[in-house]
Every structure is written in C-alpha cells, then in structure tokens.
Amino acid sequence: MPPSRAVSSDLSITDDLLRNAGRAPARRSRNGSERDRSAQRIAPAEFHPQSAKRVAKSRVEVVRAGGWDAWPWLLHGFSTRTGGVTTAYRPAQRSGELNLGFTASDTRENVLENRRLFLEALGAPASMKLVTLKQIHSSSVRRVGRRDVAASEPCRGDGLMTSEPGVLLAIQTADCIPVLIADVKKKVVAAFHAGWRGTVNRIVENGVGKMRVAFRSRPEDLIAAIGPGIGGCCYAVGEEVRSEFASQFSYAQDLFREVSDSDPIREKYPMLFLTQRPPGHSNIGPSLHLDLMEANRRQLLDASLRAEAITVIGDCTRCQNNRYFSYRGEQGFTGRMLSVIGIRS
C-alpha cells in the first residue's frame, strides 16, 4: 500500500474510533501545520521520501548508467532484489529474491545461483569472473587482476581497480553508496564502497588519485556512476557524524538538513499524546539527515571529474525497499546487492 494511502487509512480508523466514543474529530488543516511548512522550506527536494515504484518481482533486473553503452568494451550494472532463488528474507513472497552476498541467513548454493543469474542478465560472458572485497569502511583501494579471481579469501578494503580484461569488480551494498568509475581512454575501471565512514575518509577521491598514479588516468577522461543507496530523505545520523564531516569538508553544511518527521494522527489529535513532560506534549523533533550521494558527487568534482561525466542513479534503497535491499529499512535482516564494472575481453 502506498504510504499516502496507508496514512489516510490510519486517520480514518482513528476518526471512527473517536466518533464512536462521542468525540468529534478535529478539523484537519488543508495547508498542514506550521511545522510542516517550515520543514518544507528547510529540506530540498532530494530530502523528500520517494514514492515506491512497481517492480516485476520475478524478473532479474539490472540498473545501468545512461549513455555508458557508447563504450562497447565497458560492462557495468547495479543489481536489485528482484528475481533469484533466495527465500530467507521474505518467505511469504511467491517469487524468490536476488541476494548476492554470502550472508548467514542464505545458503551458499542460493547465492552462487543468484550470481549466475545476475551475470547472465548483465550480459557478461562466462569467461568473466567476479572479484570482491571484505569491506571494512576504510579508504583502502586495491589493484587487482585475473590472479585475484582464484583467491581463497577476498582482500580487505573498500575500493578495487583494474586494467585487465575479463575481471568484474564487485561491491556489495544494502544502503551504502556504490560508485563505479571508468577511464574511457585507457580502458581502466574502478569500483568503490562508500558508507559514511568511507566517505569521511575520502574513499572515492583517494581512489581517483590512485587511478591517476597507477594508470596515468586523467580526470577529464573519467566517467562515474553513483548507484542506488540510502537517500538523504531516510538517512538519519547523529551529531557526531556531522562533526566528522565538518572536520574534513568545507562544504559539509551543504550535506546535512534537519528534517521533521510527520505523524498526521499526532498532529490532528495532540491531546491523545499528552504527557507530563514539559511543556506538556511529546512533539516529534527534527532529525539530522545526511545526503551521502551528494557527498560522493562532491568528492568526484573535487577529484576534477567533469560534472556532466557523473551520473547519479538517485534511487533510495530504503524508500524503494520493494526493489532494493535496505539494511536500515529491514533492521539489519536483509540481503546484499552487487554493483559491478569490468572490461570485456
């Protein structure tokens, strides 16, 4: 049920309960409360919750950056949760899901089959193999090649880069931001995992620097795609996170907004929530939200990439929880998606 319809239903139920108890429902302001109008002035459009999109749950879906098919040698894509054989996270759902991470709740056989289905939908030849990381929310970037495909254990870090054909670099996420980069002149690719800690540690900016050193990449030859992740609309953080960003970035204040949560029932019937706490009501205060997608876009700009060379997919994994796995949206009990990039042989 869409959020707006669910809210309307909850309000109707509350109205009926009060009417049956002999209490006339209060008139609802057409323009909303003053607090709502203030929040709308503060929060930019990207901090507003996204509407859930309809998806075909039985079909394996690949999200791609627009225009990247101009380079036939370049293979890339972001997975979703639809399709696959996993039933651990939504057992009541008729169709399986595409969990691509080796989690404790899923079987290794399921994950391997899901990865096969995803690579098939991606159009990757059978000769191309995945290279993954043991992600640690760091600024560590690894240069890898075909020798790393057969490694018994993935190396630790949060960035991968290669110039070798036949290798698919893969980043696992379930809210964190995946960033894919390609040097279209030298045929070099890289993939980065950017949670808030990795972003503070400049994982993407440092990664571009390492591409310049290792492969002589020039920023004007780079293209980048910021994939689906938790949006500023849903990513509430503490003051300590704002302090960390403020210590590192001069533009930190542009990445944060105070967003007021809205509870229509509480606003319409404030007396139902009367407490002994001064000044008498437990109002829902504003929470601090961080826009990680914009934070990583700014790092790409600081690394001298052209603004028009940066694609932001923009999907919020928590808002679009029917399409993507979301660690926050599912309280940690969720699967993992893969964001991959490679060079065709």
For 194-245, the pLDDT digits (tens) are 999 999 999 999 999 999 999 999 999 999 999 999 999 999 999 999 999 9
Q: Is the pTM of this model over 0.85?
A: no
Residues 6 or more apart whose Cβ sits within 8 Å of residue 117: 60, 83, 84, 85, 98
**What is the model's pLDDT at position 94?**
87
Which residue has better confidence, 181 or 91?
Answer: 181
Residue type, 127: S
Q: How far apart are CA 116 and CA 262, in angstroms?
A: 43
- The residue ranges of DSSP E strands in the chain, in sequence order, are 62-63, 74-79, 82-86, 97, 129-131, 141-143, 159-162, 167-173, 177-183, 188-194, 222-226, 236-237, 256-260, 286-290, 310-312, 337-343
- Spatial CA neighbour of 104 closest among 336, 301, 278: 336
Q: How far apart are CA 190 and CA 179, in angstroms?
A: 8
Range with the lowest mean pLDDT among 39-43, 146-150, 295-299, 339-343? 39-43
Q: How far apart are CA 62 and CA 38, in angstroms?
A: 39
For residue 9, pLDDT over 50 is answered with: yes
Residue type, 314: G
SS3 call for 37: helix
The β-bridge relationship of strands 177-183 and 167-173 is: unpaired
Cα–Cα–Cα angle for 307, 161, 176, rounded to 5 degrees = 65
Which domains, ranges and CATH numbers included, belong to the chain?
62-235+291-343 (3.60.140.10)
Q: How confident is the model at residue 32 (pLDDT cuts 50, 70, 90)?
A: very low
- Per-residue pLDDT tens for 123-153? 999 999 999 999 999 999 999 999 999 888 8
pLDDT more than 90, % of the chain: 73
Please compute the mean of the pLDDT values over residues 251-266 and round it to a whole number: 81
> Do 255 and 295 touch, CB atoms closer than 8 A?
yes
**What is the model's pLDDT at position 86?**
97
β-bridge mates for residue 170, sequence order: 340
Tell me the DSSP string of 221-260.
GEEEEE--B--TTT-EE-HHHHHHHHTT-TTGGGGEEEEE
Cβ density class 143-163: b for 16+ within 10 Å, e for less: bbeeebeeeeebeebbbbbbb
**What is the model's pLDDT at position 26?**
44
**What is the model's pLDDT at position 303?**
98
**What is the model's pLDDT at position 41?**
35
For residue 35, pLDDT over 60 is answered with: no
**What is the model's pLDDT at position 39?**
33
